[in-house]
Amino acid sequence: MNFVAMSFVHSAKDLTPLREMISHSSRPLLLIAKVEKPQAVTATEKNLEVIDEIIEARDNLGIEMPIE
C-alpha cells in the first residue's frame, strides 16, 4: 500500500486523526483528500498542511458551487 485516501473532507480537522494513524505505519504512506464540498475548497490552504495530495471531485463541486 502506498497511500490512504479520505472522501468528503471538509477541513484539516477531519484529516488529523487519519494522519496520526498512518504515521505509525512501518512504511511511509501518502495521505490523499478527496475534495467534494465547497467547505473543503475554501479550506484548501489549511488542508495542505496535513495532506500530501488532493483529488478534486469536479462532478460534486460542479453541482454545489457556482462557476467562477
pLDDT score recorded for residue 20: 92
Q: Residue 57: pLDDT band by 50, 70, 90 thresholds?
A: confident
Matching residue, cell 490552504: 45
Q: Are 22 and 4 in contact (CB under 8 A)?
A: yes
- Specify the higher pLDDT residue, 67 or 19: 19
Pairing mode, if any, of strands 30-35 and 3-6? parallel
Q: What is the pLDDT of residues 5-31, one digit of tens each?
A: 999 888 888 889 999 999 888 888 999
Tell me the C-alpha distance between 26 and 9, whole Å. Answer: 25
Question: How confident is the model over 32-55, as pLDDT tens digits?
Answer: 998 888 887 888 888 888 889 988
